[in-house]
Amino acid sequence: MSKVMVVDDEEDLRNLVKLVMEREGFEVETAEDGKDFLEKVSKFKPDFVILDVMMPGLTTKEILEKLKEKNVDPKIMLLTVVRFSDDEIKKLAEKGKIVDYLTKPFDVPELVSTVKKHMQ
């Protein structure tokens, strides 16, 4: 069973995505911010991470840099309220295995299909 980790400071969104991903057959863990994610990621060892861009505490860039120190290398999809340019995505992708992003609010079937596409 593939493992997905949902990292978002909005509890309702975390719970929604967790429920949807579990219904799709994934094992799911959640984290409420970057610090929580970094504490849990080595133990859970996700294959895929759905990572909110705008959270209190660590920036996305800091999270990606610290993730390199861990013994995990998941694919990452960013969730954001901001649209990224291709150059911005390339710069972030250099910091980690960012494979895609979705803007909030997102379409649940699109979220599921994006995760499944990258898990193949």
Locate tokens 């909005």: which residue? 10
Residues 6+ apart with CB under 8 A from 62: 34
pLDDT at position 96 is: 65
The average pLDDT across 8-21 equals 96
Claim: this prediction has a pTM higher than 0.75: yes
Give the pLDDT confidence of 37-90 residue by residue, as tens digits: 999 999 999 999 999 988 999 988 899 889 988 888 899 999 988 776 777 766
Sheet containing 75-80: order of strands:
27-31, 3-7, 48-52, 75-80, 98-103
Which residue range forms the structural domain that includes residue 107? Answer: 3-119
Read off the DSSP letter of residue 107: -
Lowest mean pLDDT among 8-22, 27-41, 59-73: 59-73
Count of structural domains within the chain: 1
> What is the rounded distance in angstroms from the CA atom of residue 112 to the CA atom of residue 71?
26
Read off the DSSP letter of residue 24: T
Maximum mean pLDDT: which of 5-14, 59-68, 91-100: 5-14
The domain that contains 72 carries what CATH number? Answer: 3.40.50.2300
Neighbours of 57 (CB within 10 A): 13
Neighbours of 1 (CB within 10 A): 7
